[in-house]
Every structure is written in structure tokens, then in C-alpha cells.
Chains A and B, each alone.
Chain A
């Protein structure tokens, strides 16, 4: 009886088996990397806006406080985008003829809101209340990053669930005193763990079990 397979079939088979393992392992790694990548989450990608508003200029350069424009961050579930009137407080006086700012003036004249493109958008199946986070000592910077260094606004973090849980599981690693909420580049005045634990107790932040309960965020 003649041989059906050549001798090289042995090598070929071994290479195929190990090759399959290797390819599957690589595919798993690639999917893992891709699903967390900025490409998938759109983090660090500046969005096109009707007016090229620069946080770097207004916050970093001029030192305008976050809450001068975003007035409801402490009181509302939704952190507001300022109305055109807020822009016009200054821009009726300065840069009042700049062509770049024409959409702002047009909005003011016609009473039609500027249609900003939303940057930080959580999925609709997540219940998110902005005010509770601010009131419990989560700084702007903690989620939004160094806004004072963003010429065009981009989302700093992945907004994936594992990112939310990082803080919900260990809030003491992230909270800061309320007076430093809007501070950019905040440095704790000692050991963050120690300060954080004290603040968690002081602000009556719920334990990790409650913070990570399904229905805390998925209601």
C-alpha cells in the first residue's frame, strides 16, 4: 500500500496546530487592544464644532472658572452647555467683529441656539447624574482631563464601564476637597489615600457595594 501523505505532512500538521494557537492568541490580543483603543472609544479625538471654541484659551489662558459658563454642574443631572448670552457677556465688547464668531452673534440675533457637537456622551442605558459626582468631590479634571490644555475639546477617557468602575470601586483614590473641584492640575496636599478616605467618610460616599450595584447606574 502506497503512502497517502508525504513525510512533510507531519511538519505541516505541527505547524498548523501551533500556528492556529498563535493566530487565535494574536486575534484575541488584537480584539482586546482594539476594543479599548481611542479609535473605538473616540477618546482624545477633537470634534468639529460650529465655532472653534478653545478651552485652552479661555480656561488656561484667561483663567475663566469652569462654572462661569457651566452653571448647573453642581445642581443638575445634566451639565449644561452655556447659552449664547454667556458668550456675549464678553464678546459683545471684545472680538465683536471677528468673522470666526459670526455664528455666535447670529445665534444671539436670531435667538437660535448654536448646535454644538456633544463630546462626552454616555450610552442611553446609563443613568448618570452630574451633580452628585461634583458634590461628592469628583473634580472636573478627574473625568474631563486637563481641559485648560485643550485647544479643541475632546473626550479624555474611554467612558467604558471598566473606567466608571475604577472609581466606583475605589472612590478614595480619586476624590478631592470640594473647594478644589474646578482646579486644573490639582495636587493633593499629602497622601491621596489618607485624604481620600477622610473625604469619603466626610462626604458620606456610599460603600463600593452600593456604588457597584447594577441598579446604581442601570435603572
Chain B
């Protein structure tokens, strides 16, 4: 097996490079896991991620002992980086669900080579996102109060509050994402079980594969389960970030209280999510030589989705300013004007540059096909989307309806430590994932091969 393995690392315009066979697809993807070698770049990144993770633990430890005041939270800005980071991370997760669920239902075959790691990205992003609303509670150890359970207080959470909807939206999202990801992993776990040589590995992968033997009955059940889960996950792509946006729109804060937040937030989520997919896929395919599986076609498609959603986001900014002006409401107008010219004007104009101007470069095929530029562009988008949430949340809160309590928000080093810490946590989990599990769906990529279509042709 290992001797006659041919690795195809050639760039291709198709969704899979020509020359692959069933065997070579499996070999190439499984070999990343079933080896003792880890590329130095990955080891280095892992070390950085571990470092950031330690900083995260330190920041959380300090937060738990001293309280949320270690962050820059001061009245009236009681939501700042914490909720910014929450919205940012949840948004990033959305691309994974869109790729795995909506594109599956739409029969977009190019998703097959990127859905696995995009789903993993979703799960880890939601894990990072979940940290912030819990940590900002003040008494995080009482977080179970968020759920309706039979308690001795005789009360339930306030179901009229969007913050409670948020709990259900995000926990549902996490559950469905994990289930979908795991069900999709099972056939590949069985492949790893069959290919690994060490007894401990066989047992571990065999345990995780839950007795998958690849019988026709198994596949029939698998197809049904994965379609059902895709059906469940599809509305979540729209509903989760809608609920997140309701956290703001339900509040009567100028700059928050508007009806177009849900579509605007969902578009922003997919925009930043595809940026993260690109930011992960581009280094991955070159480090592991997967250019034949994650081809330029994938990057091109992802860039197009990113541009389309970016344009919706840009349109939303324009509509936000327009509706503030057109409403004739002096408070809305003041909030908008304050964003553009007030203490947060730099953040505002940088986000306009990142999210309105920058995506227009993706109209050009030259930009979309240059992986280095595309990588940088995806980072620009991620920065822009973080700033967007920051400006919406902080600019509106810091200058609220009571001018006597106005205060410009100042971040502390622990704001930075917690935020960078979750990036560390994300990378830590993601790198463990690509080292221990097949990062590309082996069996789904095999269906892309021309050999896989022969039977259908002869039958039809």
C-alpha cells in the first residue's frame, strides 16, 4: 500500500484533479493521519496555539477570581469584546453548516472535498463562541440557570428575552453540528480502523466507527440520517444568526433597533465563515499537498460566495445609514453619525474598507486564482467582520440615551488575552482534528471520481 502510493498535488480547475483512483484518494487522505510524521509547520503552529491556549486559561482563571471587571467592561458599556467575539465566532461557524447542509441539499458536489474540515471548523468556532456569553455572566458557575429545569426557586428563564432564545439557538446548533459531523465521519473512521496497523489505533478507531462495515443496509441508513440531519441543519444556518441579531434588535438602543438586522447578520456570518474556510484551506492544501483534492475551483467558488455575501453586507451598511437618515429619528441619526465621526470612527472606516471596498477585488479572476492574495483577503474579511460587531455593539452602548453616563470603551490586556486565547483554543482543536481524523471526507470524494459514475451510466 505505502510503496506504490502516488500522491497527486497538481493544481486543477476541476473539483478533483484527473488521475485519481479510489485507492489513491483513500491513501492520500488517510496517510495524513496514519503516520508518525507531522510537518514542522503544523508542529510550530500547534506550539503557538498551545501558548495562546495557556494565556486563555490564565485570563479565564483571573476572570473567575476577580470578576468581569478585568475586562474593559464599565457602565454603560457592559457588552464589548465578549459579545463581539461571541458573534464573530458564531458567524464563522455558519459557513461550515452552509457547506455541509445547504450545499448537500442543492447537490453541489464541490462541497465534498471541503465539508469535513468546514464542519469541524463550525464545531470548534461554536465552542469558542460559547465561552463568551458564559464567561461574561459574572457568576459563570451558575450558567445552568439559563436552562429551564425544575429548580427550587420556582421560576423559569424569561422566554420573552432574546438572550434565552440565544441559549437554545446556540445549543441546538452545537448539537446538530456535532451529530452531523460525527455521522459523516463514521465510514471514514471505519476506513482508518481497517488501515491502521497498531492494535490501540484499531481499537480506538473501531470504537468510534461503531461497528461500521459498509454493508448496503448501513449505507441506506447513513443516507437517510445524513439527509435528515442536513434538513435539520439547513434552517439553522438562517435561524441561529437571526436569533443572535435579535439580541440587539429587540433592545431599544439606537443603532440596534432595526428590522433588517437578521438578513444582514446572516450574510455577514456566511461572509466571515467563508473567509475562515479559505484561511484554513489555503495553508492546509499546500502543507499536506492536497492541491489535487482542494483545487483552485474550490477556492474560486468559496471566493465567489464570500464576495456575494460581502456585497450584501456592504448593501446593509448603506441601508443602515439610509434608514437612520430616512427614519427622521434624531437618536438613530445621532447614533449613526457618532459611528462615522465619533470616538470609534477609525474602527468604522476600517470596517468599511474591509467589508465594502475589499471584497470588490474578488470580481477579478486574477485575484481569486492567486492563493496568497486570497489568503490575505480572507484575513482582511475576518478583521473587518470583527470590527463590524465591535462598532455595532460598543459604539451604540458607549453613547447611549443618557449622555451623563457616556464613556469611551477602553479594552484591557485581558480582553486581548481572552480573545487571542480563543483563537489559540480554535487552532489547538483544529490541528488536533487534522492530525487525528481524516480532514477530507474520503468516501464522499471518491464519489466525485469518474469511475464512480460508470454504473449509473450503464443502468440509465
Chain A residues packing against B (C-beta within 8 Å): 1, 4-5, 9-10, 13, 32, 35-36, 158, 160-166
Q: B211: which A residues are within 8 A, CB to CB?
A: 5, 9-10
Give the nearest-CB partner of A169 in chain B.
B154
What is the interface residue range for chain B against chain A?
10 to 19
22 contacts between A and B (CB under 8 A): A1-B194, A4-B193, A4-B206, A5-B206, A5-B211, A9-B211, A10-B211, A13-B210, A36-B152, A158-B152, A160-B152, A160-B153, A161-B153, A161-B154, A161-B155, A162-B151, A162-B152, A162-B153, A165-B153, A165-B154, A165-B155, A166-B154
Shortest beta-carbon distance, B285 to chain A, in Å? 32
Shortest beta-carbon distance, A59 to chain B, in Å? 30
Q: Which of B154, B155, B202, B203 has the most CB of A within 10 A?
A: B154
Chain A: interface secondary structure? helix
Assembly CA distance A163 to B202 (angstroms): 56
Shortest beta-carbon distance, B388 to chain A, in Å? 34
Shortest beta-carbon distance, B417 to chain A, in Å? 32
Chain B: interface secondary structure? loop
Give the nearest-CB partner of B205 in chain A.
A4
Shortest beta-carbon distance, B413 to chain A, in Å? 33
* Given pairs A162-B153, A164-B154, 8 additional interface contacts (CB within 8 A): A4-B202, A4-B203, A4-B206, A5-B206, A5-B211, A9-B211, A161-B152, A161-B153
Give the nearest-CB partner of A2 in chain B.
B202
Assembly CA distance A161 to B150 (angstroms): 12
Shortest beta-carbon distance, B139 to chain A, in Å? 12
Within B166-210, which residues are at the interface with A (CB < 8 Å)?
A: 193-194, 202-203, 206, 210
Assembly CA distance A179 to B153 (angstroms): 32
Shortest beta-carbon distance, B26 to chain A, in Å? 16
**Interchain CB contact under 8 A, B154 and A162:** yes
Give the nearest-CB partner of A35 in chain B.
B152
Shortest beta-carbon distance, A218 to chain B, in Å? 11
Q: A36: which B residues are within 8 A, CB to CB?
A: 152
Q: A13: which B residues are within 8 A, CB to CB?
A: 210
The one of B150, B202, B203, B206 that contacts A32, using a Cβ cutoff of 8 Å: B150
Assembly CA distance A166 to B154 (angstroms): 8
